[in-house]
């Protein structure tokens, strides 16, 4: 079976004609790209996964956009206000990691710099690629696009090797790219209450940070490796990359809160250590996009 990926340009003009049932998204607050501006980033879609795109409920697409509007506002608040955070680590290379509690849930913030100012578009493209994390995170296995609401609003399934126990873990997350200005882009990720298995296996998940995600319940047809295996599901309470281009560098702020669905015997200290390890792996972007 051909598993090659098709590049689909992220431009509203090229997509509007074939996605009329979600044309509302071009007018929604989250659709920040204007109709006369072509995005430089690209998605990589498996043809087999594209079958689920034939019929998309416009109301579901609108609800997804509303959830991500909430998520963006919450992520911006946690990125800009630092008073509640406690310093966890500060490396000599300038990467600074903080944590705090919100609704009894850990949320972390990482600030670092990529010295190559010309890497702005490439960083965004890598973060949007469903398999882009393979170059960053040691535990990443693969990623697939499960649903496309508009060119910048997707549901992505990602699978990871567990750094808790031997089993792999996977998650579904809404992913939204938002151009905040000509030189700043946000990529937001949130898990909703996705039903991707038989009803007997369905477990309700409540997002403690983005509450509107608890009312968004898309049905997703899982891949065979998920359907036929007892693979635990993780949940992205909130994750956000803020990428800002400066004259001499790229500034990156990451906000992240992940529910690892860990066994009860795993301590909160251990979970925070796992989270910190995952956070700091993102600084590999500096080496990937090192200035020549």
pLDDT of residue 10: 34
The enclosing H or E element of 272 equals helix 268-281
Q: What is the pLDDT of residues 9-30, one digit of tens each?
A: 333 333 333 333 333 333 443 4
Q: How many residues does the chain have?
A: 292
Write down all domains in the chain, each with its CATH number in brackets.
Answer: 6-288 (3.30.530.20)
pLDDT at residue 60 tops 50: yes
CB neighbourhood size of 193 (10 A): 18
DSSP per-residue letters across 159-189: EEE-SSSSSEEEEEEEEEEEEEETTEEEEEE
115-156 pLDDT, tens digit each: 999 999 999 999 999 888 888 988 888 888 989 999 999 999
β strands within 71-104, DSSP E: 86-90, 96-102
Give the pLDDT band of residue 228 (cuts 50, 70, 90): very low
Residue 34 burial (CB < 10 Å; 0-12/13-18/19+)?
Answer: exposed
| pLDDT value at 2 more than 90 | no
What span, in angstroms and rounded, lies between the C-alpha atoms of 204 and 4? 35
Question: By mean pLDDT, which of 113-117, 164-168, 214-218, 275-279 is the weakest?
Answer: 164-168
Q: What's CA 96's distance to the chain center, in Å?
A: 21
């Amino acid at each position: 079976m051909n598993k090659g990926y098709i590049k689909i340009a992220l431009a509203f003009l090229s997509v509007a004609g074939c996605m009329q049932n979600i044309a509302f998204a071009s007018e929604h607050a989250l659709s920040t790209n204007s109709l006369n501006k072509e995005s430089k980033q690209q998605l990589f879609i498996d043809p087999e996964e594209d079958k689920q795109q034939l019929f998309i409920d416009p109301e579901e697409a609108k609800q997804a956009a509303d959830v991500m509007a909430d998520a963006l506002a919450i992520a911006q608040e946690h990125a800009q206000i630092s008073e509640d955070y406690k310093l966890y680590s500060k490396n000599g290379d300038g990467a600074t990691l903080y944590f705090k509690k919100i609704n009894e849930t850990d949320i972390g913030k990482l600030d670092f710099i990529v010295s190559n100012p010309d890497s702005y578009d490439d960083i965004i493209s890598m973060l949007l690629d469903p398999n882009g994390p393979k170059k960053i995170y040691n535990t990443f296995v693969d990623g697939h696009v499960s649903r496309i609401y508009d060119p910048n609003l997707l549901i992505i399934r990602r699978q990871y090797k567990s750094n808790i126990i031997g089993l792999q873990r996977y998650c579904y997350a809404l992913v939204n790219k938002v151009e905040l200005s000509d030189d700043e882009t946000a990529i937001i990720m949130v898990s909703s209450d996705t039903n991707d298995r038989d009803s007997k296996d369905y477990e309700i998940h409540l997002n403690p940070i983005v509450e509107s995600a608890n009312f968004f319940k898309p049905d997703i047809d899982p891949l065979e490796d998920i359907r036929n295996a007892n693979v635990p599901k993780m949940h992205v309470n909130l994750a956000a990359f803020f990428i800002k281009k400066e004259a001499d560098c790229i500034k990156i702020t990451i906000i992240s809160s992940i529910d690892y669905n860990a066994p009860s015997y795993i301590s909160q200290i251990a979970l925070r250590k796992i989270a910190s390890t995952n956070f700091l792996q993102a600084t590999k972007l500096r080496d990937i996009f090192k200035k020549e």
